[in-house]
Amino acid sequence: MMGIAISMAAAAATPATTAQVQVLAAMQDSAAGWNSGDLDRFMRVYSDAPDTSFVAKDGVITGKPAIAKRYAPRFTPEGAAKRGVLSFETLRFTLIDARHALLVARYRLKIAGAADQTGPTTLLFVKERGGWRISADHSS
């Protein structure tokens, strides 16, 4: 089950709360893709823009196809055991403007027989025609 909790007051939705609900729903769908072994669904949250980036310890990976290639080994039958179950805990959400939002979260991978892998992730979202998409991802 996804670790993102969404709670809103009964007051009318503001642009920030609406954006937050949509961003968290996109993250929940992405985690569901990870957990079911569906790379395309997991990657749907990333923008198709050519400058979409993922910061890794070995450098910056640019472009959704290159980011997907990095994750692909965990979506093979051999990699499934190492993939684990992914969840996110929201630490901070900031609506920068009508088209940009920043999500700071903690990811957690529960892998059978191993210690959980966990760390911070900072995600810059851009609102596109298809919804909110990650433009820049820095996960440690």
Q: What is the tens place of the pLDDT at every residue in 5-56?
A: 444 444 455 667 899 999 999 999 999 999 999 999 999 999 999 999 999 8
Q: What was the pLDDT predicted at 8?
A: 44
Tell me whether residue 85 is in a domain: yes
Read off the pLDDT band of 2 (50, 70, 90).
very low
Task: Please give the model's pTM, rounded to 2 decimal places.
Answer: 0.87
Q: Which pLDDT does position 82 carry in this prediction?
A: 86
Residue type, 46: Y
Question: In this structure, is residue 134 part of a structural domain?
Answer: no
Secondary structure (3-state) at 120: strand
The mean pLDDT of 96-125, rounded to a whole number, is 95
Q: What is the pLDDT of residues 42-94, one digit of tens each?
A: 999 999 999 999 998 889 999 999 999 999 999 998 888 889 999 999 999 99
Predicted pLDDT of residue 88: 96
Q: Is residue 135 part of a domain?
A: no
3-state SS track over 1-45: CCCCCCCCCCCCCCHHHHHHHHHHHHHHHHHHHHHHCCHHHHHCC
Count up the domains in the chain and report the number: 1
137 located within any domain:
no
Q: Which domain CATH number covers 87?
A: 3.10.450.50
Query: Any residues with CB less than 8 A from the CB of 13 and at least 6 apart, and which?
Result: 21
Range of 111's domain?
A: 15-122
Query: Which of residues 107 and 8 earns the better pLDDT score?
Result: 107
- pLDDT reported for residue 15: 67
